[in-house]
Chains A and B, each alone.
Chain A
Amino acid sequence: MGKISTFGQHLYEGRISFDFVGRRKLWYTVSAIIMVAAAAGLIARGFNYGVEFKGGVEFTATVQKADSKTADAMRTAVEEAAVPEAGDPTVTTSGGGGAELIRIQTKPLTQDQTTKIKESLLEGGATEVSQNLIGPTYGKQVANKALTGLLVFLVLVVIFIWAYFREWRMSVAGIVALAHDLVITVGVYAWTGFEVTPATVTGLLTILGFSLYDTVVVFDKVRENTKGILKSTTRTYAQQANLALNQTLVRSINTSITALLPVAALLIVGVAVLGTGPLKDLALALFVGMLAGTYSSIFIATPLAVQLKDREPAIKAHTAKVLGRREKEADGPVAVAVAPQPKRLAAPSGAAKRSQPSRKPRSQRGKGGS
């Protein structure tokens, strides 16, 4: 019992530590491979655009049982409507569970033609017919508007992160991680052939929010751990940032689980019960994007922010100083430096918060400033 939480404690103290920052080249390589694969999917397969992007009419016929027989019946019904423009429609069955549905997609039609086909479908055995007549520009408009929103959002977020963390490097790292998540999600759509609809666009836009949300939480801990880092002589910026990642790891995992559980439910219900429609399109984008978002906050955003920060002369000099000093002491592994902390603080408990003359000026915990 309690093993998971002991794990959390060990992460917190630095007794168990994953080297996220130090092995960044490995993560960058992994991400680069995934992103190349995603881009390849985009080039090789492209998107399976929904009717909203192509323009046309989509009929959804509710039938007693959606199988190949009723699908054929629906196809025949379309032909019997005597609308030549609707020739050779795409007919797919979907559903199971609650609804038995057959989807019929045709080229763009006029209102009168749709009405004719609808009547014919009802005669052909459908109990109810929904129709969706869409101009070819609708999806593009949604996408264009979304793109405007995306650009505005990016600008605002760069300013927001900069204003909150006072650190443009974090803005840059956050945006790179965001782009990373978007590319991967888009690649998954290309490879799986899931339809790209306005709901997908919505999902992609939500990833923006979530990806940055996650990054901000992690960065917050990094900032806390690296506060006054230049006064410390035992740990480098990169090490403190890595500790922050380890300390927030449990949160990251728990948050991902709680965020992904409902989205998974949405995805499963969307695919299994409805078989089609906005829920499915939205949920896949969210599921992939949220996974990528958690991954990128830990493996991409923070290592990149550290890498950028390390170029700063002051940090560079500090890192060299700490490393040089450590070499002199020869031994003294990192964990030892942190582990005594709780013991030392345990005795006076609450009073430790206030005047502590005995306490060494270790501002790396960032307590005094808050």
Chain B
Amino acid sequence: MAAPKTRSANLPRPKRTLTLFLAAVVAMFGLVALIDANGKKGDDSAWKPKLGLDLQGGTRITFEAKAEGGKVTPDKLKQARDIVDQRVNGTGVTEAEVTTQGGNQIIVEIPGQQRANIVDQVGKTAQLRFRLVWATGQSAASPTDTTKDQKIVDDLDWTKLSLDQLIKAETEGVATLPKEFQKGVTSLQKVLAGFICTKDLQVNDVSDKPLVTCDTSSGEVQLLSPTVIEGTQIKSADAVPPSQQNVEWVVALALKGQGKDAFDKITDALFQQTQAGNEAGSRFAIVLDGVTLSAPTSQFHSTDGRSQISGNFTSASSKDLANQLKYGALPLTFGVNGVSEEGPSLAGSQLHAGLIAGLVGMILVVLFLLFYYRGLGIVAIGSLLVSAIITYASVLILGKAVGFTLTLPGIAGLIVAIGITADSFIVFFERIRDEVREGKSLRLAVEAGWVRARATILAADGVSILAALVLFIFAIGVVRGFAFALGLTTVIDIFVVFLFTKPLVTLLARTKFFGQGHKLSGLDAAHLGISGRKVSELARTTSTAGKAN
């Protein structure tokens, strides 16, 4: 009893379904036009698909959180992403996209121009710390082997020292440190003496150990205390233009939490030294990834966690330092995991090749469908075209709505989907033919064939969508773009088969050409291998049976 019900539900309304479907397609393009009218013109037009870096040229930098930088939580990663975002956009790059990926990565994508040099500006500014300047020296001329001394320093547990002891070592000299640390101090001084200050300095910056490093701009070599304030304690940092109090640019700094108290203590002690004229005993250093950014003296005592850093700043350099302080406090340590830079013309040729492949594939499929299915092939081609049009509209809308970009693997996904889309028609058509072979008239065969094909198409597409979803959720990098494209086209396929192909075939089955089995319709008796009978005869029988209904 199920079959007649389905028939009466579907048969009378193919025209309405088709009209509604085509109206929906038109509406999609209307939406694109609406977005376009409200958006920017030119390259950012809503009519152009958003292209990935591999197709338009540009730079992609992958940062990966290092395990030793602490536990990687989604919160911390998002925080880091925001900081990197501000930092990239702070360097004057527009339209840079910063996203997280795979639970421990941050991806920076800069379209159009080739900007691999941005790695230095974004990637290097990672860990900011405040330390006290215990001693200074000059860059050594020739390298000396200080691994033994470094080991002695590393073996000591410097966390036993209190903040007061660290400050005392600064103001009164490292000789005031407890006896057990003295061999460490001796070693540190040896390391200091043998230290070479180079432009691209690489120093292993461990928070709770003393550090020998240098200020690469001045070339001064410094022996620094273990970290007294972590960069994460910075609340804000701003460049302040010259005013009545300041004759030059300064950087205003506000700290929070423990950092605020520590800073109070430190500036109290150091400011006294400044007033006493002991410049050397009143300096603290701001260290970024092991390299000293600035080592100012304390000019006043701060009790509210506010401070100003001064020292020959220009407008630009004060802003730079403020930015580095503000955004320097990444909650995680990152390493550069990959930089890819695609030239615009090479990207263009890849896009070209991808489109050619898609076009050639489409033509081949069309030729095959026409050859095998004749008249029905036209339905298949119509459906493929409609799918292509909807896919195009979806790519445009998704590009605007969720930032979907078309990448090379994405295009490959769309091309692969041509076959999957065509399979739905093939399953449907073969079922219709099966039913005709069973002796049904075409009109009934279409309905009966559809009921069976429907279940198969849904199950098969279900597997496809499942695969796409799992890939999209669990995979990273190129795999994701591919999975998205594949999932998108499978969903579109279901819509097209249900709302376009099926009603269209129902409509066509009522025509003389198909319904009576014209030689070229693909449903003629000879084509179906039914010898001795004619589809037209059956069709007539049906129409009387239909009336009797």
CB <8 Å contact, A279 and B353: yes
Residue pairs across A and B with CB atoms within 8 Å: the count is 324
Residue-wise, chain A 1-19 has the 8 Å CB interface mask toward B (1 for contact) of 1101111111011000000
Cα A215 to Cα B412 with chains together (Å): 23
CB <8 Å contact, B438 and A149: no
Closest to B479 in A: A202
Partner of A261, one of B353, B361, B412, B427: B361
- Of the listed stretches A24-32, A64-72, A263-271, A310-318, chain B binds A263-271
For the complex formed, measure the closest distance between the CB of A141 and the CB atoms of chain B, giving whole angstroms: 7
CB <8 Å contact, B479 and A142: yes
Q: Would A134 and B338 be within 8 Å (CB), given that A160-B466, A199-B409, A261-B419 are in contact?
A: yes
> Does chain B have a CB within 8 A of A41?
no
- Of the listed stretches B266-274, B296-304, B523-531, chain A binds B523-531
B1: A residues at CB distance < 8 A: 354
Report how many residues on chain B are interfacial, defined by Cβ distance under 8 Å.
100
CB <8 Å contact, B477 and A142: yes
Partner of B356, one of A247, A257, A269: A269
Cα A12 to Cα B470 with chains together (Å): 37
> Does chain B have a CB within 8 A of A358?
no
Q: Would A262 and B350 be within 8 Å (CB), given that A62-B343, A145-B475 are in contact?
A: no
CB <8 Å contact, A5 and B528: yes
- Of the listed stretches B159-167, B254-262, B429-437, chain A binds B429-437
Partner of B545, one of A132, A157, A351: A351
The interface residues of chain A, by DSSP majority, are classed as helix
Cα A198 to Cα B340 with chains together (Å): 14
Residue-wise, chain A 99-118 has the 8 Å CB interface mask toward B (1 for contact) of 10100000000011011000
A133: B residues at CB distance < 8 A: 116, 336, 338-340
- Of the listed stretches A235-243, A327-335, A338-346, chain B binds A338-346
For the complex formed, measure the closest distance between the CB of A254 and the CB atoms of chain B, giving whole angstroms: 5
Partner of B422, one of A258, A277, A350: A258
Residue-wise, chain A 133-176 has the 8 Å CB interface mask toward B (1 for contact) of 11101100110011011001100110010001000000000000
Query: Residue among A152, A201, A278 with the most chain B CB within 10 A?
Result: A278
CB <8 Å contact, B427 and A251: yes
CB <8 Å contact, B116 and A114: yes
Report how many residues on chain A are interfacial, defined by Cβ distance under 8 Å.
101
CB <8 Å contact, B357 and A209: no
The interface residues of chain B, by DSSP majority, are classed as helix
Query: Residue among B200, B434, B440, B475 with the most chain A CB within 10 A?
Result: B475
Closest to B380 in A: A258
- Of the listed stretches B72-80, B127-135, B364-372, chain A binds B364-372
A356: B residues at CB distance < 8 A: none
> Does chain A have a CB within 8 A of B119?
yes
CB <8 Å contact, B339 and A146: no
Q: Would A350 and B526 be within 8 Å (CB), given that A8-B433, A262-B361, A270-B357 are in contact?
A: no
CB <8 Å contact, A201 and B444: no
CB <8 Å contact, B528 and A9: yes
Closest to B364 in A: A261
B483: A residues at CB distance < 8 A: 205
- Of the listed stretches A77-85, A181-189, A216-224, A298-306, chain B binds A216-224
Closest to B105 in A: A141
Cα A220 to Cα B462 with chains together (Å): 13
> Does chain A have a CB within 8 A of B491?
no
CB <8 Å contact, B478 and A262: no
Q: Would A265 and B364 be within 8 Å (CB), given that A212-B463, A354-B4 are in contact?
A: yes
B2: A residues at CB distance < 8 A: 370
> Does chain B have a CB within 8 A of A93?
no
Cα A10 to Cα B459 with chains together (Å): 27
> Does chain B have a CB within 8 A of A288?
no
CB <8 Å contact, B4 and A265: no
> Does chain B have a CB within 8 A of A282?
yes
Interface residues of A (CB under 8 A from B): 1-2, 4-10, 12-13, 60, 62, 98-99, 101, 111-112, 114-115, 127-135, 137-138, 141-142, 145-146, 148-149, 152-153, 156-157, 160, 164, 198-199, 201-202, 205-206, 208-210, 212-214, 216-217, 220-221, 224, 247-248, 250-251, 254-255, 257-266, 268-270, 273-274, 277-279, 282-283, 286, 290, 341-343, 345-347, 349-354, 370
Interface residues of B (CB under 8 A from A): 1-4, 54, 62, 64, 102, 116-117, 119-120, 200, 335-347, 349-350, 352-354, 356-358, 360-362, 364-365, 368-369, 372, 408-409, 412, 415-416, 418-420, 422-423, 426-427, 430, 433-434, 437-441, 444, 448, 451-452, 455-456, 459-464, 466-468, 470-471, 473-479, 482-483, 486, 526-530, 533, 538, 541-542, 545-546
Some 12 contacts from A to B, beta carbons below 8 A apart, are A8-B529, A114-B339, A148-B474, A156-B466, A212-B467, A217-B456, A247-B434, A251-B427, A258-B368, A258-B426, A274-B350, A349-B541
